[in-house]
Amino acid sequence: MDAYIVDWLNLLVRWLHVIAGIAWIGSSFYFVWLDNHLEPPADPADDDKGVGGEVWSVHGGGFYHAQKYRLAPARLPERLHWFKWEAYTTWISGIFLTALLYWYGAEVYLIDPSVAELSAPAAVGIAIAFIVGGWLVYDLLCRSPLADDARVFAVVLLVLCGVLAWSLCELFGGRGAYIHFGIVLGTIMAANVFFVIIPGQKQMVAAAARGEMPDPGPGVRGKQRSVHNTYFTLPVLFVMTSNHYAMTYGHEYNWLILIAISLAGALIRAWFVARHKGKASPLPAVAAVVILAAVAIAIAPVSRGAQDAGASIAQVRDVVAARCVSCHSSAPVHPAFPVAPLGIELDTDEQILNDADRIYQQTVATHVMPLGNMTQMTSEERDVIGAWYRGLRR
């Protein structure tokens, strides 16, 4: 029953996380687009009122006229809309999901003894340290002179993200390492909103309410953090879906794959941002495509068929029965799974044959199954599955 309750919590909180994430990313993307499409006000009276830019748009059968003030209007409106709860809800639900799946179930989803021998409390403590430390290091860098040069700062962030990815993949199983990489970036994004963007906006609103000219400093700092957030978005979205693709997080060089795909995502976003402003160089998008193609080629499985002696379905059945069906069965006995994960059942020879591709990919090509190798599948048993699979494909 405990596993059943955890599954329902997982479902409901994940649903909330996706909904809030869509709202946060949607508003973030919209305002980046809006800022990059502003034109000087057509009416001189608007310019005199302090309007710095405007844009006309049409959507859903109506016309919209958005204006941005250089600092603040002479008189604040009675109702002012804020965009913050989307970010906070996304982060809170994401941390709850992490605690539910990767910390409460650390032995299954976070710890891999073949990577590092960690106890559950140690693994969770290290994970939290990375999350908190990631924000502190990033925030200090943003307040340093390095942040004055956007290109230098981007290189520094890329190097630090590489160190982060490598460190996580040296400590945790690939799936857990990837998700914690995303949590560190997601925490930075949410903390930017909570500690920098919203407080800066409150300062500007308070100054305007007092009839004073707002200090532009908080707005400049908020804009800087907002730009950083938009470049983090696609890498974080990749990580959110990466648990479906063991070919990435289960690879020997999983940390390098993570950085390459994250860089490709940031380059794609950079091209879109530049495109919002008008004509944009295709180089960032081309570079992203090249990086993704290079990763796909580099991690493609290599056939060893000619040197295999082959193995029988009976041998594979014995391995699957000993190492897999405690979870992948019509009646799982593992306490973490009330039903077979992803509905994959391996009780019969027919089911094993139907899922041959998946079995080979997960146990031989990437070694991500069994999760954390909790049933202690041996190298010899993986060789049996590999020989059998390659024999099927001859």
> What DSSP line would sit under 202-231, residue for residue?
HHHHHHHHTTPPPPHHHHHHHHHHHHHHHH
Tens of pLDDT along 244-258?
898 999 999 999 999
Is the confidence at residue 1, as pLDDT, over 60?
Answer: no
Q: Is-contact 284 270, C-beta < 8 A?
A: yes
State the alpha helices, DSSP H only, in the chain.
Answer: 2-36, 44-48, 85-98, 106-109, 120-142, 150-171, 174-191, 198-209, 216-241, 246-249, 254-276, 283-298, 313-323, 349-354, 356-360, 379-392
Band (132; pLDDT cuts 50, 70, 90): very high
Band (7; pLDDT cuts 50, 70, 90): confident
Residue scoring higher pLDDT (373 or 282): 282
Band (172; pLDDT cuts 50, 70, 90): very high
Average pLDDT over residues 99-117: 92
Band (302; pLDDT cuts 50, 70, 90): low
Average pLDDT over residues 304-328: 81
* pTM of this prediction exceeds 0.75: yes
Average pLDDT over residues 370-393: 88
Is residue 43 helix, strand or coil? Answer: coil
Band (308; pLDDT cuts 50, 70, 90): low
What average pLDDT does the structure give for the chain?
92
Band (187; pLDDT cuts 50, 70, 90): very high
> Would you list the domain boundaries of the chain?
37-69, 88-298, 305-392
